Structure formats: structure tokens, C-alpha cells
Amino acid sequence: MTPASEYFGGSGGLAWGDNVPATPPGESIPPVHIHDARVEFGSDSVRKGALFAGLEAEFAAGVFTSILGSSGVGKSSLLRLIAGLPPRRGTATGAVTDGDGKPLTGRVVYMDQRDLLLPWLSVLDNVLLGARLRGEPCQRGRALGLLAAVGLSGWEDARPDVLSGGMRQRAALARTLMEDRPIVLMDEPFSAVDAITRLTLQDLSARMLAGRTVILVTHDPIEALRLGHQVQVLAGSPAWLDPPVAPPGVPPRDPADPALVGLYRVLIARLQAAA
Amino acid sequence: MTARPDPSQALAARAVARGRTWRPGLRNIGRTAVTIAGLLLLWQTVVWATGVAPYILPAPRVVANAWLERPDYLLTNAAVTAAEMLLGLLFGGALGVASAILIATLAPARRWLLPVLVISQAIPVFALAPILMLWFGYGMASKVVMATLLIYFPVTAAFLDGLRRTEPGWLDLAQVMTQDRWAVIRHVRIPAALPALASGIRVATAMAAIGAVVGEWVGSGAGLGFVMLHANGRAQTDLMFAALATLAALALVTYYSVDWGLRRALPWTPDSPLDDARF
């Protein structure tokens, strides 16, 4: 990844995101089971519809799953359901549990496509937000380490408004990693950053999130194939999940790999068939 | 190569940005001075042109003389009015903040307190002035209560509005991080609503002087309102105008101090200066 190192002005190798040890998750990794999920909106008289009607899904423990789908198909709604958040509109029902039938509360971290940094907190305090909300002691050292890992050394005390879009999203990634949860939900986390930053953030995420149950929602087949142990297409109305496609090799994969190019065609065909 | 911004440069840029919000402040003071000078000139011209009697409209110079003759008298009374304003701001602000948080966090408070709050605004606070005199006496207390009542509503309404309009994404993020509802209110909803509270306090500051002076008019032994009433009774029109000028100065100083303090306290508030010559 020479271009990235040049871009970030590092002297020899990447200026950041390199040689960051994967933090092993502190607790056992659960799978995610979704049973009979329904998200319905509209009343009887007005336009009534359902994003999901009896959706069933299982995401194995420790597996990185990429979910592809066109806009509005319900990708974000699926993640919100797993995160325990109410749908943006309509009502949601259904059971989201780990393998043992227990709820996932407190074991999930959620990263949105918007950075959602709080403008009144410094970058460091944004990374420490979860600990602050839970009244836990702040692990400043770990937070500073994560900020260094995402290339934001020296920016700890800056307010988010002086950061560029890519830097803000890197801070949001540091905040996500700081949470150290076994289940990681990501909603198009890198859709708003430039191509090179996206590659570096993908590499970083693949390395730092290895071993966790990750569900990444994206509309970019390349991103899905680079990062996922398996890729599933969410399509239809009400939506369902296609059988997974499993790219060979270990993520993060080289996007120019011929095997990936072949799978890219498969996924595009599935997405086109669904449209 | 140079795409990576440097922290120190960005911080310097922020300092410049802050300076940009500062200099118009100084320029505004300059403009205000020019406006006042223009009005004084107009006033003087009217007095010369019409030859109006000094007990109807004294010339600026006469008013200035009246002020210079008794500066201690005017300043001690201005101090009383200022104290009433500031105490009113303090109590009204504190009550408003507390009510807004209570209404925002507790459903019963929302159901019971909010309608009472709205209905209470149907009663003109000035109409209560004689009753407040009766209950709290002719001293400062009744004026402070008056100013407090006047300030309470804009502060409550603005802060409550801010508390209601928290960015939903921030609440989602916080909800996944914790189950503690109060922690989310404390660390997300309340700070996010502070710019709205600041707007409410600015409006309230402008109203503080009205509350104090109207209270003094109804009955008092000190304050600029008292000076005006007293001077009116003795046909000392020049002294009335001197008191009025002092009150205007007091109101301006209070407003700009509060505005400056709020800006300093909330530097992260989104700001798109109207002088930016864009839209």
C-alpha cells in the first residue's frame, strides 16, 4: 500500500494504521440470531408496508459478515434491530438474541455512516464517551493509543469541528474500538471518506475487529468482499437475506484479486436481479 | 504530501475564526456610538428648531448637566436596579433551567407542569406588579420577583425546545452505549441544548431591565425607576432623561456582557455570521 503511505506523508511505511496489534476481545464472542423479525410501517388506510416480515438470520460468532443491498431495502433497519434501537419509522418486533436466547444488550457497539461526534467534547473525550456515560473509569492511555492507531496523534484536545470529514470518521472508529464489545455493527462506516482513507480504515478495521462478530452494512461490493468472511445480499420487499458468498483468503483482501473480481460479478448480478 | 492537516495550524485557524467573531463585536460598539451621536444631534436640532420648553424636552446638554450634577445619586440608584436585574436573571434563569430539565425528563411533569406554564403566560406579569408589592413589600424583593417571573418563561421555553431537539443519531449512539437514561440526559441532551438555552438567556437579559423598572414604578424607595417617578413628580424632566440614559447604558452593558460570556462559554456553537456576505 505504497500510495497510502505517500498520501499520509509517512516516512517509510504507513504513518498510521500500521503494526497495530489486534486487541483480543475481553469476553466470549456470541453469535447473533434473529428470529421472526418484522418492521412494519404505515396504517391500514395509508400506504402500508413491511421492510421485514418474519426475517430469520444467523450470524456466526467471530465471523465478519458484510451485508450488501440497495438503498432503502432495510440495511440500516436490520442493524438498528440488532442494536436494539427503535426503527426510524414504523414498529419493529422480533427476537434478537445470542445463541443461548439471551438479549444482546450491553454487548453491542454501533458505528453510523455519520461520525456522530459530540461537538462540545474534545476528540479524546468523544472516544471516552461510552465510559463517561456508564460512569466507568476513563482509560485515557488506551484511548490515546487508539487515536494514534487511527492517525490522530496530537489531535486529542482538538474539538471535532476543526477536523476534516475523514479525520472525524477515524475518530468515530477509535470511539467504536474503545467500546471493546464482542458484537460490532457498522452502517456504511466508510462511505463518506476518500478512497485512500477508506482503504486504510478498512485495513485497520479488519485487523482490529478480527475475532469479533461483525456485521457491516454497505452498498459497495468491493468493500463487502475485502472485509467479510462472508457476504450476503439483502433484497426484496419484504426483504430477505440471500445465502452467503464466502470469498477466499483472509481479510483485508486485495481488491484486485481475480477471485474477488469474479465474486464481484456474482454479487452485482444478485443485486441487479433484486432491483 | 501536504494533505495531512497539522494540529497546530488547525488550532491557529480556530483562533482566527474566533477573532473574526470578536472584531465585529468591537465594530458594533463603534456603530452603536455613531448611532447614539446621530440621535443626540437630531434631538438637539429638534430642541433648537421648535424651541420646546425644557420641562417637555430638555436639550442633551441640559440632561448631561443634570447627570453631572448628581452622578452619585444616579449611580447608587442604578446599582439598585442592576442588582434587581442580575438577581432576577439568576433566579429566573435557575428556575427556568430546573423546570425545563424537569419537564424534559419526567413524564408527569410534562403532563402537569407544561399546561400550567403555558396558561401562566396568559396573565400579563405587569398586572401582577401591585400584588407583588403587597406580598413582597416596597424593597428590592418585589422587583426581583417581578424580573424573575418575566425571565423565567423565555429561559424555560428556549431550553425545553433545545432539550427536545437533540440530534437523534447522538441519542442512538448513547443508547447503545448505556442503559442509564439520566446519564444520556446529562451528557448528551443537556449539553446539546445549551446553545438554545443561551438564546433564551439573551432574550431574558433584554427583559430583565423592564421587569426591574416596572416594579420600581409601582412602588419603591430606590432604583432608576424610582428616580424617574420622583423626578416626574417634581417636573425635573432633565433628571428623568438622565435616569433613562443611565438605564439604557445599564441594559446595553448587561446585554453585551451576557452575550460575550455565553459566546465564550459555548465556543462550539454552530455559527454562520450574517455578515459573511453569502446568504
CA distance A100 to A122: 39
Radius of gyration of chain A (CA): 19
Kindly give the pairing relationship between strand A213-218 and strand A64-68. Answer: parallel
Cβ-Cβ contacts under 8 Å for A175 (sequence gap 6 or more): A117, A126, A127, A129, A130
Q: What is the CATH number of domain A28-107+185-190+213-275?
A: 3.40.50.300
Helices (H), chain B: 7-50, 60-69, 71-105, 107-120, 129-136, 140-164, 168-177, 181-184, 190-218, 224-233, 237-265
CA distance A237 to B81: 68
**CB-CB contact of A88 with A77 (8 Å):** yes
Q: Which residue of B has its CA nearest to A123?
A: B7
Q: What are φ and ψ of residue A135, in 5° steps?
A: 70, 25
Tens digit of each residue's pLDDT (9 = 90 or more) over A23-71 = 555 568 889 999 888 888 876 655 678 888 888 889 998 999 999 988 8
Kindly give the pairing relationship between strand A230-235 and strand A64-68. Answer: parallel
Q: What is the DSSP-derived secondary structure letter of residue A112? A: -
| ipTM of the complex, rounded to two decimals | 0.86
Instruction: Please provide the average confidence, as pLDDT, over all residues in chain A.
Output: 85
| pLDDT for the residue A178 | 93
CA distance A189 to A202: 9
Best B6, B21, B172, B177 member to test A by mutation, with max A CBs in 10 Å, is B177
Q: Which residue of B has its CA nearest to A119?
A: B268
Cell 444631534, residue?
B41
Cell digits for A64?
A: 465478519
The boundaries of every CATH 1.10.3720.10 domain in chain B are: 56-269
| pLDDT for the residue A125 | 96
| pLDDT for the residue A52 | 86
Cβ <8 Å between B268 and A159: yes
CA A231 to mean position of chain CA atoms: 13
**A91-95, A185-189, B35-39, B257-261 — which is least confidently predicted?**
A91-95
**CB-CB contact of A213 with A182 (8 Å):** yes
**CB-CB contact of B32 with B252 (8 Å):** yes
Cell digits for A259?
A: 477471485
Q: What is the DSSP-derived secondary structure letter of residue A103? A: B
Q: How many CB atoms sit inside 10 A of residue A110's CB?
A: 24
Q: For domain B56-269, which CATH number applies: 3.30.43.10, 1.20.1050.10, 3.40.50.150, 1.10.3720.10?
A: 1.10.3720.10
Query: Which chain B residues have any C-beta within 8 angstroms of a chain A C-beta?
Result: 1-5, 7, 10-11, 13-14, 167, 169-170, 172-180, 183-184, 187-188, 191-192, 194, 266-268, 270
Best A16, A110, A116 member to test B by mutation, with max B CBs in 10 Å, is A116
Tens digit of each residue's pLDDT (9 = 90 or more) over B118-137 = 887 888 888 888 898 899 98
A32-41 sheet: strands from edge to edge:
A49-59, A32-41, A91-97
Q: How confident is the model at residue A14 (pLDDT cuts 50, 70, 90)?
A: very low
Tell me which residue in A119, A134, A159 faces B180 most closely, judged by beta carbons: A134
The predicted model gives B27-31 an average pLDDT of: 80
The predicted model gives A95-122 an average pLDDT of: 90
Tens digit of each residue's pLDDT (9 = 90 or more) over B57-107 = 999 999 999 999 999 999 999 999 999 999 999 999 999 999 999 999 998
Cell 401582577, residue?
B128
| pLDDT for the residue B121 | 80
**A76-80, B60-64, B267-271 — which is least confidently predicted?**
B267-271
Is the pLDDT confidence value at A121 over 90?
Answer: yes
For B190-209, b where at least 16 C-beta lie within 10 A, e where not — what string? bbbbbbbbbbbbeebbebbb
Give whole-number Cα distances, A188 to A29, A111, A132, A220, in Å.
23, 8, 26, 9
For chain A, what are the domain ranges? Answer: 28-107+185-190+213-275
Nearest to A246 by CA among A233, A231, A236, A234: A231
Cβ <8 Å between B13 and A105: no
Cis amide linkage into residue A86, ω under 30° from 0: no
In DSSP notation, B175-216 reads HHH-S-HHHHIIIIIHHHHHHHHHHHHHHHHHHHHHHHHHHH
Instruction: Find residues 81-110 of chain A whose CB sits inside 8 Å of chain B.
Output: 83-85, 105-106, 108-110
pTM of the model: 0.82
Instruction: Find residues 56-85 of chain A whose CB sits inside 8 Å of chain B.
Output: 80, 83-85
Q: How confident is the model at residue A255 (pLDDT cuts 50, 70, 90)?
A: confident
| pLDDT for the residue A152 | 92
Cell digits for A106?
A: 450491553
- Per CB-CB distance under 8 Å, the chain A contacts of B266 are 120
